[in-house]
Amino acid sequence: MPPRWTHITINTADIDASVDFYTSLCGLSIVRDRRLEDRHNVWLGPATNPGEDPTFVLVIVQDEVKFRLDHFGFQCDSRAEVDRIAELARQKDFLVEPPTDVGGVVGYFVMVRDPDGHLVEFTFGQPLKGLS
């Protein structure tokens, strides 16, 4: 079996603010909270069925933010969901670019910034299905 992509790890200056951002805007859930073990990290993943493990997680570590990645991408089920996230991001002062429809394989998207400056894109019409 080839290696499987399982996680991305980012540093954060304020772990509680980042957990709030990724759970409230991105719809991720806490799958392992190591703050309780004094380890200063939290693992977040998509909602799963009871007894099911996530296939991919975002690990947030309380530490100095030395580098930022280009952006995270989240697929939404509708334009209305992109608009809802954009409005929530605007209210929390995270909005970078308002919703825009550029068509083609990019589709409808909004760009927001997490508390540490990492860009996060929410899209509709940009599925991975059918890539080749």
* Residues 6 or more apart in contact with residue 52 via CB below 8 angstroms: none
Place of tokens 């991105």: 26
Q: What angle do CA 96, 92, 39 make, to 5 degrees?
A: 100
What residues contact 121, with CB distance under 8 A and at least 6 apart? Answer: 71, 72, 73, 74, 109, 110, 111
Residue 105: predicted pLDDT: 78
| pLDDT score for 10 | 93
Please name each of the domains of the chain with its CATH number.
Answer: 1-63 (3.10.180.10), 70-132 (3.10.180.10)
What 3-state class would DSSP assign to 43?
A: strand
**Residues of the chain below pLDDT 70:** 1-3, 127-132
Helices (H), 1-132: 15-24, 79-91
